[in-house]
């Protein structure tokens, strides 16, 4: 237990030999040191998981997690050890504000990768939806690239079919007119197969022959254009087949998926906020403890030590100035005598 206590005191940034002269402060600074240590430990897990998400390298994640945790640990230790109690709350609060802002930023950075781990299953489901949407957008872009050609060919095919239908309708009309002339239900209203009927029959036969030629010609063109459509469709499918179908699984994609989840679900949104607030609370706790805790014996000893150093420094400077002035006076006297 003594080793743990000494380690946590080191983590708090306290001057241990001086703290031994104020043993009542040991528990307070031991608790502050433990908070700083476990914040650094969480930061190590967070940084390691973040790097694992990006590069999927276990050794790289371990090394980066250790370095990241040590960096956050050192920052927190510096933030807390740099605060000194002077029984001037507003002055202390003003000095604590930049440290609190830095602690909040550190907490947010630490919390994000761990939030991704907490909501990992939900994020994986959201990533599948995002992948499908990305693939659909890619396919739509490919389809739009060929859509104008497809529309043009379909319009030409429709026009050729319309020409066949119009000629077929004309043939039907002329044949009906010739039939009505033959049976007396139309035209001259007399049953006969005379010259008028023959003329109308000749018109119907001519239109039928023209219909046959149009059907052959347009059918050939339609077949060619349908072949072009098939070629375009084959090209489109091969282009779609060459699209990047790699899984979306990066850190940015996971953050984006988490954002989608928080936008759609109020429980996830509040849970996400509470996790962030939890880390902010943990990260800022040592600063608040130093800020709201009363001045103790250790603070008195530290101030006395600093004051003694200031006096010693001032006396040293004054002594050097006197020695310098004395040497200058001796030099000036020697110059006058010479």
**Statement to judge: residues 238 and 255 lie in one domain:** no
Higher pLDDT, residue 325 or 65: 65
**Statement to judge: residues 268 and 155 lie in one domain:** no
For 215-260, how does the pLDDT look when each residue is reduced to its tens digit (9 = 90+)? 888 888 888 888 888 888 888 888 777 776 667 777 778 888 888 8
CB 267, CB 273: distance < 8 Å: no
- Segments forming the whole domain that contains residue 72: 1-120+251-320
For 250-259, how does the pLDDT look when each residue is reduced to its tens digit (9 = 90+)? 777 888 888 8
Which among 274, 249, 266, 246 has a CA at the least distance from the CA of 126? 249
Provide the percentage of residues in the chain whose pLDDT is more than 70.
Answer: 87
Residue 82 tokens, joined: 């740099």
**Statement to judge: residues 258 and 283 lie in one domain:** yes
Residue 100 tokens, joined: 């609190």
Is this structure's pTM higher than 0.75?
no
**Statement to judge: residues 1 and 115 lie in one domain:** yes
For 154-187, how does the pLDDT look when each residue is reduced to its tens digit (9 = 90+)? 888 888 888 888 888 887 787 777 776 666 565 5
Of 242, 261, 286, which residue is a domain's last? 242
Three-class SS string for the chain?
A: CHHHHHHHHHHHCCCHHHHCCCHHHHHHHHHHHHHHHHHHHHHHHHHHHHHHHHHCCHHHHHHHHHHHHHHHHHHHHHHHHCCCCCCCHHHHHHHHHHHHHHHHHHHHHHHHHHHHHHCHHHHHHHHHHHHHHHHHHHHHHHHHHHHHHHHHHHHHHHHHHHHHHHHHHHHHHHHHHHHHHHHCCCCCCCCCCCHHHHHHHHHHHHHHHHHHHHHHHHHHHHHHHHHHHHHHHHHHHHHHHCCCCCCCCCHHHHHHHHHHHHHHCHHHHHHHHHHHHHHHHHHHHHHHHHHHCCCCHHHHHHHHHHHHHHHHHHHHHHHHHHHHHHHHHHHHHHHHHC
Residue 12 lies in a domain: yes
Of 217, 242, 267, which residue is a domain's last? 242
**Statement to judge: residues 236 and 262 lie in one domain:** no
For 95-134, how does the pLDDT look when each residue is reduced to its tens digit (9 = 90+)? 777 777 877 887 777 778 778 888 888 888 888 888 888 7
Of 242, 262, 289, which residue is a domain's last? 242
CB 282, CB 107: distance < 8 Å: yes
Residue 44 lies in a domain: yes
pLDDT of residue 189: 57
How far is the C-alpha of 171 from the C-alpha of 168, rounded, in Å?
5
How far is the C-alpha of 207 from the C-alpha of 177, rounded, in Å?
13
Q: Could you give the number of structural domains in the chain?
A: 2
Residue 125 lies in a domain: no
Give the mean pLDDT of 18-27: 79
**Statement to judge: residues 255 and 312 lie in one domain:** yes
pLDDT of residue 226: 87
Residue 145 lies in a domain: yes
**Statement to judge: residues 255 and 238 lie in one domain:** no
**Statement to judge: residues 140 and 236 lie in one domain:** yes
For 256-296, how does the pLDDT look when each residue is reduced to its tens digit (9 = 90+)? 888 888 888 888 888 888 888 887 887 777 777 777 777 77
Residue 337 lies in a domain: no
Residue 330 lies in a domain: no
**Statement to judge: residues 116 and 188 lie in one domain:** no
**Statement to judge: residues 143 and 104 lie in one domain:** no
Residue 333 lies in a domain: no
**Statement to judge: residues 106 and 136 lie in one domain:** no
pLDDT of residue 211: 78
How far is the C-alpha of 221 from the C-alpha of 240, rounded, in Å?
28
pLDDT of residue 254: 82
Average pLDDT over the chain reads 78
Residue 279 lies in a domain: yes
**Statement to judge: residues 113 and 261 lie in one domain:** yes
């Amino acid at each position: 237990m003594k080793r743990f206590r000494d380690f946590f005191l080191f983590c708090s940034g306290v001057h241990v030999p001086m703290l031994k002269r104020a043993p009542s402060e040991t528990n307070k600074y031991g608790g502050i040191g433990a908070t700083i240590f476990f914040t650094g430990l969480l930061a190590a897990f967070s940084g390691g998981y973040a790097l694992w998400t990006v590069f999927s390298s276990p050794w790289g994640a371990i090394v980066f997690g250790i370095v990241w945790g040590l960096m956050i640990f050192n920052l927190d230790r510096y933030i807390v050890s740099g605060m000194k109690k002077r029984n001037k709350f507003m002055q202390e609060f003003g000095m604590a504000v930049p440290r609190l802002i830095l602690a909040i930023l550190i907490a947010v950075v630490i919390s994000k990768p761990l939030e991704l781990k907490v909501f990992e299953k939900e994020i994986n489901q959201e990533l599948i939806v995002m992948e499908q949407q990305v693939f659909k957008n890619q396919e739509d872009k490919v389809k739009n690239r060929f859509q104008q050609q497809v529309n043009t060919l379909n319009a030409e095919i429709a026009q050729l079919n319309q020409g066949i239908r119009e000629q077929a309708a004309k043939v039907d009309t002329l044949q009906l007119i010739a039939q009505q002339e033959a049976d007396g239900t139309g035209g001259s209203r007399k049953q006969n197969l005379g010259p008028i009927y023959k003329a109308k029959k000749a018109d119907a036969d001519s239109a039928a022959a023209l219909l046959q030629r149009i059907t052959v010609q347009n059918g050939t063109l339609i077949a060619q254009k349908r072949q072009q459509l098939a070629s375009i469709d084959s090209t489109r499918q091969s282009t779609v087949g060459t699209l990047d179908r790699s899984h979306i699984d990066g850190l940015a994609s996971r953050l984006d998926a988490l954002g989608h989840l928080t936008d759609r679900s109020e429980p996830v949104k509040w849970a996400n906020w509470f996790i962030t607030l939890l880390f902010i609370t943990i990260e800022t706790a040592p600063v608040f403890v130093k800020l709201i805790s009363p001045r103790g014996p250790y603070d008195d000893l530290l101030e006395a030590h600093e004051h003694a150093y200031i006096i010693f420094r001032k006396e040293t400077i004054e002594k050097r100035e006197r020695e310098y002035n004395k040497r200058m006076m001796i030099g000036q006297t020697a110059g006058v005598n010479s």
